[in-house]
Amino acid sequence: MHFMTALRAAWQSRNSLLCVGLDPYPARFPAHLQGRPDAILEFCKGIVDATADLVCCFKPQIAYFAAQRAEDQLEDLIAHIHERHPDTPVILDAKRGDIGSTAAQYAVEAFERFRADAITVNPYMGRDSVEPYLEYADKGVILLCRTSNPGGSDLQFLDVGGGERLYERVARLVANDWNASGNCGLVVGATFPNEIARVRHIVGDMPLLVPGIGAQGGDIAETMQAGGTADGTGLMINSSRAILFAGSGEDYAQAARRVALETRDAINAKR
């Protein structure tokens, strides 16, 4: 199914704009999983199965798997999500960016090896570097626009002419040019609600992936006010650490569910 179709269906059927980020960090795993060769997969499956009915998508971050030589566990995790929670789209957070011939290999990795439904991509190298992902018209291509980290301002806030900021140019370019197949989204951090509002103004109803609530301190009410669409959707609001590590015992998945539920409800209260 087309990523955007699946996302819209999940917004409705789950009544949720929450994206649970899967950033497994073994040092914070509960004791009963420590040292197991399949600890990353087991930890993430526990989170996924406990929260799937509360989310509109999952977002595994590839670095947490690659750093532990656990790409095979990432493959198995995404296969598990497709099998057990087939209506839940998976965004592979890889923030790729390279020349077209190399980007084509990254696209194969994301969409064919890992079977992700969408990928995060860095737009810095321009249109031809993004084309290989866009050619998978049924997959989501989510481009970094105004990132949540403080240093994002170093470049994204530069005036590129006539008072337009670089992140605004990215938003305009993606909305007016790169989105011909309707499969683009943008990343805008919850830590910068004014910029979420600017981006929403530029791109209309295009889906925005919004990380930065929870551990990074972004505000849910401000995010919703700035980024929600008229029909009360339009956002994939990501939280990773605050949900993954809500508990540290054998009941970690239930603790994660409690925080995911609270977060989903806090978002829904502002829709």
Ligand X SMILES: O=C(O)c1cc(=O)[nH]c(=O)n1[C@@H]1O[C@H](COP(=O)(O)O)[C@@H](O)[C@H]1O
By the rule CB under 6 A, 238 interacts with ligand X = yes
By the rule CB under 6 A, 156 interacts with ligand X = no
Q: Name the H helices within the chain.
A: 3-14, 39-51, 62-66, 71-84, 100-108, 127-134, 153-156, 166-173, 193-203, 220-227, 241-244, 252-268
Residue choice 24, 30, 46, 189 for contact with ligand X (CB under 6 A): 189
Q: Identify the residue whose tokens are 């980290």.
A: 149
DSSP state of 85: S
By the rule CB under 6 A, 239 interacts with ligand X = yes
By the rule CB under 6 A, 195 interacts with ligand X = no
Please give the structure tokens belonging to residue 131: 């084309």
Please give the structure tokens belonging to residue 64: 């947490």
Closer CB to ligand X, residue 33 or residue 187? 187
Instruction: Just list the catalytic residues.
Output: 95
Site for ligand X in 58-117 (CB under 6 A): 61, 93, 95
Taken in order 179, 110, 261, 193, is the CA torsion positive or negative? Answer: negative
Site for ligand X in 17-56 (CB under 6 A): 21, 23
Q: How far is the CB of 162 from ligand X (least distance, A)?
A: 26
Q: Which amino acid is at 79?
A: A
Short-list 129, 218, 127, 217, CA closest to 176: 127
By the rule CB under 6 A, 223 interacts with ligand X = no
Q: How far is the CB of 241 from ligand X (least distance, A)?
A: 3
By CB under 6 A, which span of 1-9, 77-85, 174-182, 237-245 interacts with ligand X?
A: 237-245
Q: Show Cβ contacts of residue 32 under 8 Å, excluding neighbours closer than 6 positions.
A: 250
Short-list 156, 153, 150, CA closest to 122: 156
Closer CB to ligand X, residue 189 or residue 228? 189
Closer CB to ligand X, residue 83 or residue 262? 262
Residue choice 241, 262, 268, 270 for contact with ligand X (CB under 6 A): 241
Q: How far is the CB of 152 from ligand X (least distance, A)?
A: 7
Name the phi and psi angles at 216, rounded to 5: -90, -5
Q: List residues near ligand X by CB under 6 A.
A: 21, 23, 61, 93, 95, 120, 147-148, 187, 189, 211-212, 214-216, 238-242
